[in-house]
Homo-oligomer: A and B are copies of this chain.
Amino acid sequence: MYVTLQNGDNCSPDQPLTKSRSPVTFRRNLTKGDHLFREADQAKSIFEIESGVLRLTRVMVDGRRQVIAFGYPGDVVGFPSSNCYHSDCDALTPATLFVYSRDALERESGDVVLHRRLLQAALAEISGMQDHFLMLGRKSASERVASFLMTINERVGSPIGHYDQFTLPMDRSDIADFLGLSTETVCRAISQLRKSNIITLENSHTVIILKPAALGAIADFVK
Protein backbone atom coordinates (compact mmCIF):
# COMPACT_ATOMS: atom_id res chain seq x y z
CA MET A 1 0.00 0.00 0.00
CA TYR A 2 1.21 3.43 -0.87
CA VAL A 3 2.51 5.44 2.03
CA THR A 4 2.43 9.09 2.81
CA LEU A 5 5.35 11.36 2.39
CA GLN A 6 5.43 12.58 5.92
CA ASN A 7 7.53 9.58 6.89
CA GLY A 8 10.56 11.25 5.51
CA ASP A 9 11.33 14.28 7.54
CA ASN A 10 10.06 17.78 8.09
CA CYS A 11 7.23 17.39 5.63
CA SER A 12 3.87 18.31 6.99
CA PRO A 13 1.01 16.09 5.82
CA ASP A 14 -0.82 18.73 3.85
CA GLN A 15 2.21 20.04 2.07
CA PRO A 16 3.01 18.86 -1.44
CA LEU A 17 6.39 17.62 -2.56
CA THR A 18 7.33 21.06 -3.79
CA LYS A 19 6.17 24.42 -2.66
CA SER A 20 3.50 25.86 -4.89
CA ARG A 21 5.91 28.41 -6.23
CA SER A 22 7.92 25.69 -7.93
CA PRO A 23 7.75 25.87 -11.72
CA VAL A 24 7.65 22.11 -12.12
CA THR A 25 4.40 21.64 -10.26
CA PHE A 26 0.88 21.98 -11.51
CA ARG A 27 -2.38 20.36 -10.59
CA ARG A 28 -4.74 17.98 -12.18
CA ASN A 29 -8.34 17.05 -11.51
CA LEU A 30 -9.83 13.67 -12.20
CA THR A 31 -13.44 12.63 -12.18
CA LYS A 32 -14.55 9.17 -11.18
CA GLY A 33 -13.46 6.62 -13.77
CA ASP A 34 -10.83 8.83 -15.39
CA HIS A 35 -7.56 7.20 -16.30
CA LEU A 36 -4.43 8.92 -15.05
CA PHE A 37 -2.10 6.68 -17.03
CA ARG A 38 -1.96 3.21 -18.49
CA GLU A 39 0.59 0.48 -18.43
CA ALA A 40 3.44 1.05 -20.88
CA ASP A 41 2.58 4.73 -21.30
CA GLN A 42 5.69 6.79 -21.36
CA ALA A 43 6.21 8.15 -17.86
CA LYS A 44 6.62 11.89 -18.06
CA SER A 45 5.16 12.76 -14.67
CA ILE A 46 4.95 11.58 -11.10
CA PHE A 47 1.83 12.35 -9.10
CA GLU A 48 0.99 13.05 -5.54
CA ILE A 49 -2.59 12.58 -4.49
CA GLU A 50 -4.15 15.58 -2.82
CA SER A 51 -7.66 14.23 -2.51
CA GLY A 52 -9.66 11.26 -3.73
CA VAL A 53 -8.78 7.61 -4.18
CA LEU A 54 -6.98 6.05 -7.12
CA ARG A 55 -6.66 2.44 -8.20
CA LEU A 56 -3.49 0.91 -9.63
CA THR A 57 -3.94 -2.32 -11.56
CA ARG A 58 -2.10 -4.77 -13.73
CA VAL A 59 -3.85 -7.13 -16.08
CA MET A 60 -2.72 -10.40 -17.63
CA VAL A 61 -3.41 -11.24 -21.25
CA ASP A 62 -6.20 -13.62 -20.27
CA GLY A 63 -7.92 -10.97 -18.18
CA ARG A 64 -6.79 -11.92 -14.70
CA ARG A 65 -6.29 -8.73 -12.79
CA GLN A 66 -4.24 -7.67 -9.81
CA VAL A 67 -4.93 -4.43 -8.00
CA ILE A 68 -1.45 -3.28 -7.03
CA ALA A 69 -2.57 -0.60 -4.62
CA PHE A 70 -5.20 1.92 -3.74
CA GLY A 71 -3.82 5.43 -3.70
CA TYR A 72 -5.00 7.74 -0.93
CA PRO A 73 -4.20 11.38 -0.24
CA GLY A 74 -0.50 11.81 0.48
CA ASP A 75 0.46 8.80 -1.63
CA VAL A 76 2.74 9.11 -4.60
CA VAL A 77 1.80 7.24 -7.75
CA GLY A 78 3.47 6.85 -11.10
CA PHE A 79 6.89 5.63 -10.04
CA PRO A 80 8.45 4.96 -13.41
CA SER A 81 10.81 2.22 -14.51
CA SER A 82 12.56 2.09 -17.85
CA ASN A 83 10.77 5.27 -18.85
CA CYS A 84 7.35 3.66 -18.59
CA TYR A 85 4.57 3.23 -16.10
CA HIS A 86 4.06 -0.38 -15.25
CA SER A 87 0.45 -0.35 -14.16
CA ASP A 88 -2.85 1.25 -15.05
CA CYS A 89 -4.11 4.00 -12.82
CA ASP A 90 -7.65 5.34 -12.65
CA ALA A 91 -9.83 7.25 -10.23
CA LEU A 92 -12.32 5.55 -7.92
CA THR A 93 -13.60 8.94 -6.77
CA PRO A 94 -13.12 12.48 -8.01
CA ALA A 95 -9.51 13.31 -7.24
CA THR A 96 -7.01 16.13 -7.30
CA LEU A 97 -3.32 15.62 -7.87
CA PHE A 98 -0.04 17.46 -7.78
CA VAL A 99 1.85 16.77 -10.97
CA TYR A 100 5.64 16.74 -11.04
CA SER A 101 7.77 16.61 -14.09
CA ARG A 102 9.67 13.37 -13.84
CA ASP A 103 12.60 14.96 -15.53
CA ALA A 104 12.85 17.65 -12.89
CA LEU A 105 12.48 15.12 -10.10
CA GLU A 106 15.14 12.72 -11.24
CA ARG A 107 17.60 14.98 -12.95
CA GLU A 108 20.85 15.36 -11.13
CA SER A 109 20.61 19.10 -11.37
CA GLY A 110 17.08 19.02 -9.97
CA ASP A 111 15.90 20.14 -6.60
CA VAL A 112 17.91 18.11 -4.12
CA VAL A 113 15.38 18.28 -1.33
CA LEU A 114 12.62 17.26 -3.65
CA HIS A 115 14.72 14.45 -4.97
CA ARG A 116 15.40 13.19 -1.49
CA ARG A 117 11.73 13.18 -0.66
CA LEU A 118 10.90 11.23 -3.76
CA LEU A 119 13.42 8.65 -2.61
CA GLN A 120 11.79 8.55 0.80
CA ALA A 121 8.43 7.95 -0.84
CA ALA A 122 9.88 5.15 -2.92
CA LEU A 123 11.47 3.52 0.12
CA ALA A 124 8.25 3.70 2.07
CA GLU A 125 6.49 2.21 -0.90
CA ILE A 126 8.89 -0.72 -0.92
CA SER A 127 8.29 -1.30 2.76
CA GLY A 128 4.54 -1.32 2.30
CA MET A 129 4.76 -3.68 -0.64
CA GLN A 130 6.74 -6.14 1.43
CA ASP A 131 3.92 -6.28 3.94
CA HIS A 132 1.58 -6.97 1.09
CA PHE A 133 3.77 -9.87 -0.06
CA LEU A 134 3.24 -11.57 3.24
CA MET A 135 -0.47 -11.04 2.85
CA LEU A 136 -0.69 -12.43 -0.67
CA GLY A 137 1.70 -15.27 -0.05
CA ARG A 138 0.83 -16.53 3.37
CA LYS A 139 -2.42 -15.22 4.80
CA SER A 140 -5.81 -16.91 4.68
CA ALA A 141 -8.82 -15.23 3.11
CA SER A 142 -10.26 -13.98 6.39
CA GLU A 143 -6.86 -12.74 7.53
CA ARG A 144 -6.46 -10.82 4.30
CA VAL A 145 -9.84 -9.17 4.56
CA ALA A 146 -9.32 -8.30 8.22
CA SER A 147 -5.88 -6.86 7.44
CA PHE A 148 -7.34 -4.85 4.62
CA LEU A 149 -10.09 -3.35 6.75
CA MET A 150 -7.63 -2.52 9.52
CA THR A 151 -5.29 -0.81 7.11
CA ILE A 152 -8.03 1.29 5.55
CA ASN A 153 -9.34 2.17 8.97
CA GLU A 154 -5.92 3.31 10.13
CA ARG A 155 -5.71 5.39 7.02
CA VAL A 156 -9.06 7.07 6.72
CA GLY A 157 -11.27 5.77 9.52
CA SER A 158 -12.91 8.35 11.78
CA PRO A 159 -14.57 7.80 15.12
CA ILE A 160 -18.36 8.08 14.94
CA GLY A 161 -19.83 7.68 18.40
CA HIS A 162 -17.93 4.87 20.07
CA TYR A 163 -16.73 3.25 16.88
CA ASP A 164 -14.44 3.87 13.94
CA GLN A 165 -16.12 4.13 10.60
CA PHE A 166 -14.98 4.49 7.01
CA THR A 167 -16.18 4.34 3.45
CA LEU A 168 -14.83 1.97 0.83
CA PRO A 169 -14.79 3.71 -2.54
CA MET A 170 -13.84 0.47 -4.30
CA ASP A 171 -16.23 -2.38 -4.98
CA ARG A 172 -15.89 -5.99 -3.86
CA SER A 173 -14.13 -7.12 -6.99
CA ASP A 174 -11.48 -4.43 -6.49
CA ILE A 175 -10.89 -5.66 -2.97
CA ALA A 176 -10.78 -9.24 -4.26
CA ASP A 177 -8.24 -8.38 -6.92
CA PHE A 178 -6.18 -6.50 -4.38
CA LEU A 179 -6.16 -9.44 -1.96
CA GLY A 180 -5.79 -12.18 -4.56
CA LEU A 181 -9.24 -13.65 -3.82
CA SER A 182 -12.56 -14.03 -5.59
CA THR A 183 -15.32 -11.53 -4.90
CA GLU A 184 -17.41 -14.26 -3.34
CA THR A 185 -14.67 -15.14 -0.90
CA VAL A 186 -14.35 -11.48 0.07
CA CYS A 187 -18.09 -11.31 0.64
CA ARG A 188 -18.07 -14.42 2.78
CA ALA A 189 -15.19 -13.17 4.89
CA ILE A 190 -17.01 -9.88 5.45
CA SER A 191 -20.22 -11.73 6.31
CA GLN A 192 -18.29 -13.80 8.80
CA LEU A 193 -16.96 -10.67 10.47
CA ARG A 194 -20.48 -9.32 10.63
CA LYS A 195 -21.91 -12.49 12.16
CA SER A 196 -19.17 -12.34 14.78
CA ASN A 197 -20.18 -8.75 15.55
CA ILE A 198 -16.65 -7.58 14.83
CA ILE A 199 -17.85 -5.17 12.18
CA THR A 200 -21.17 -3.95 10.89
CA LEU A 201 -22.08 -2.42 7.54
CA GLU A 202 -24.15 0.70 7.30
CA ASN A 203 -24.34 -0.08 3.62
CA SER A 204 -22.11 -2.28 1.51
CA HIS A 205 -19.52 0.48 1.22
CA THR A 206 -19.61 1.83 4.75
CA VAL A 207 -17.91 -0.17 7.47
CA ILE A 208 -18.17 0.32 11.22
CA ILE A 209 -15.63 -1.48 13.36
CA LEU A 210 -17.19 -2.76 16.54
CA LYS A 211 -14.29 -4.79 17.94
CA PRO A 212 -10.98 -3.46 16.67
CA ALA A 213 -8.99 -5.81 18.91
CA ALA A 214 -10.76 -8.86 17.50
CA LEU A 215 -10.24 -7.58 13.98
CA GLY A 216 -6.55 -7.11 14.67
CA ALA A 217 -6.29 -10.58 16.11
CA ILE A 218 -7.72 -12.06 12.91
CA ALA A 219 -5.54 -9.86 10.75
CA ASP A 220 -2.61 -11.44 12.57
CA PHE A 221 -0.70 -8.25 12.25
CA VAL A 222 2.99 -8.75 11.80
CA LYS A 223 3.78 -5.34 13.12
Contact = CB atoms under 8 A, between A and B. Distances in A.
A66 B138 contact: yes
A185 B87 CA distance: 30
Interface stretch (A127-135, A158-166, A195-203): A127-135
B81 A126 contact: yes
Contact of A137 (B61, B80, B119, B136): B136
A133 B68 contact: yes
Interface of A: 7, 58, 60-62, 64-66, 68, 79-82, 86-87, 106, 108, 112-113, 115-116, 118-120, 122-127, 129-134, 136-139, 177-180, 220, 222
Nearest to A129: B129
A139 B65 CA distance: 10
- Sort A-B residue pairs by CB-CB distance and give the 5 closest, nearest first: A137-B180, A81-B127, A136-B136, A122-B122, A64-B138
Contacts of A131: 86
B112 A108 contact: yes
13 contacts: A7-B82, A58-B133, A60-B220, A64-B138, A65-B138, A66-B137, A106-B119, A108-B112, A132-B133, A133-B133, A133-B136, A137-B179, A138-B180
A116 to B, nearest CB: 5
A119 B115 contact: yes
B130 A87 contact: yes
B60 A134 contact: yes
A177 to B, nearest CB: 7
Given A133-B129, A137-B180, A180-B137, A60 B222 contact: yes
A133 B130 CA distance: 10
A210 to B, nearest CB: 24
A100 to B, nearest CB: 13
Contacts of A178: 137
